[in-house]
Structure 1
């Protein structure tokens, strides 16, 4: 998109925060106009801060999709929650995303997040998501309770999945950005390397294919990225698990499960990155990878000390 250079340009960061499964990643993809964050039906899928970038008029908005805010139990949980609040503190505006379908006004997690935002310094926007699946009375109650507790500048009711109301939200946030030069090239849609995005897409397929707690015990790293003469790319990734028994589940009988995961990931990688890909997946055991500082660095998380 080209812009009128005679007009004042704006650029800034908007943090998307909320409880797990509120729809932050789905909303980010809608706001940007393409897939830059993984989306599953499981909570706590997003582990690090992912930046999606969009142009709205003469404003460049850098959306920061943060991990869900919840009560942390493990070291990785603490790092994820710290990343979420850190993203909010560093932003020019923060949008609180609320799952209006499943959240009641008296919900403990909802109340806790509102309490944490009462002394916030940046402008705040309330976004009630999944409004097409929530009764109107609850929407009115959620909006009233939230605005009584926190001075939200604006309240929006949207469906991140269908896109309803998202354009108005984007326009409003664009106007809230501070004046200044653009932070990224105008055609860039994510501050995420191809290797990391490819690993994130494979991790999404793990969450969708595996059950119960096993997806949370896995991580994916892109070990090799080799362009070929025909323009395609050979991508080698390692799926790390914590125990030998988990390796067999990820592989599946005769390698069927990991093959299905790889095929689904390859298709999405090709679509997201606009390349032809040859994806090779390997499953390895790395005990206590969730306590390895190097893994946190690769996810863009600070390594927390013990509780």
Structure 2
């Protein structure tokens, strides 16, 4: 067993921001692997998935939380509770604001909530998606963000082209306590594989569907096991749940075409995650108004 160097730091950080502010993409860039699903649809993240950054001098555990928003359903309220709970338990918070969007009421709402924890938890302001705008726009956004709250640091980054991702890692690590690594070397996430598989299927199912559908999709992996007579194949059986029968044809598509595309896309990501070939069996089921029903929320893992 290798000894931990003097001054080694380890601890937890989380990214917050409006839905679709680039938090999951940034988590994946720092970890160097796909541990959080990304989508152009807001409210894509529903679980706090932990990504683990291994460095010679530190271990940074990133808790990827759902976007904080004004909730309209019981699911929305639960997601917000999850976010606030996470803020109070981490060592440093990264507040993400995209470079290509004006700082608005949503950001100020989050800043006001963050100010309540900022006395004991440092907050680093992060301008994301700098690859989408010219330099002067980034400078304007930095000035606009300075007016929102008092940050420990302010840093512009791009997860897509890697701009200042290393610097952000340094700034977050500086604010961790000294201590032993929390996870074994090489481990990139502490999420159960079945949860990651379900998230990858949901990401594939979200792509290209109508605007009203993303919140209505949940995925549960019913079974995942190696095939008995084959050691190179894993059978994955999963259900995609929607809220209304009218949504079923949107997910399945004409003659099942859309569901086949979802299966093909998800299978590629899952095979890379598990390092094995998989057989993916998908079924679409209706769980009526599940976002508003406490019993169904529990059954679907919320």
Q: Which runs of 5+ in 1 are unaligned?
A: 302-307
**CA 125–299 in structure 1, closer or farther in 2 if over 3 Å, else same:** farther
What is residue 111 of structure 2 aligned with on the other side?
A: 114
- 1:288 is matched with which residue? 289
C-alpha change, 1:69 and 1:153, in structure 2 (3 Å) is: same
| Alpha-carbon spacing, 1:243–1:298, altered in 2? closer, same or farther (3 Å) | closer
* 2: CA distance, partners of 1:68 / 1:300: 18
2:272 aligned partner: 271
List per-residue Cα deviations over 1:102-157 (Å, max 9, x = no partner): 123xx111222222222322011111011232344443343234334433111111
Equivalent position of 1:66 in the other structure:
65
Q: Deviations over 1:181-223 (max 9, x none)?
A: 2221121101111111011001001111322212221110000
* Aligned-pair Cα RMSD in Å: 1.9
Q: In 2, distance between residues paired with 1:51 and 1:295?
A: 25
Name the residue aligned to 1:253: 254
Asked if 1 retains the 8 angstrom alpha-carbon contact of 2:233 and 2:276, the reply is: yes
Q: Is the 8 A contact 1:4 1:58 kept in 2?
A: no
Is residue 13–residue 62 contact of structure 1 (8 Å, CA) maintained in 2? yes
Question: Structure 2: how far apart are the matches of 1:20 and 1:87?
Answer: 16
1 CA distance for matches of 2:92 and 2:41? 27
For residues 49-75 of structure 1, what are the alpha-carbon distances to aligned partners after superposition, in whole Å with 9 as ceiling and x for unaligned?
A: 111011122211110111112211111
Hey, what does 2:49 align to over in structure 1?
A: 50
1:36 maps to which residue? Answer: 35
Rounded to whole Å, the distance in 2 between the matches of 1:281 and 1:197 is 16
What's the counterpart of residue 125 of structure 1?
124
- Cα distance in structure 2, aligned partners of 1:300 and 1:177: 31
Give per-residue Cα distances to partners, 1:2-37, cap 9 Å, x unaligned: 965342332111011000110000000001000001
Moved more, 257-266 or 244-253: 244-253
How many residues align? The count is 298
| TM-score for the superposition, normalised by structure 2 | 0.92
Q: Which residue number corresponds to residue 211 of structure 1?
A: 210
Using the alignment, how far apart are the partners of 2:100 and 2:208 within structure 1? Answer: 25
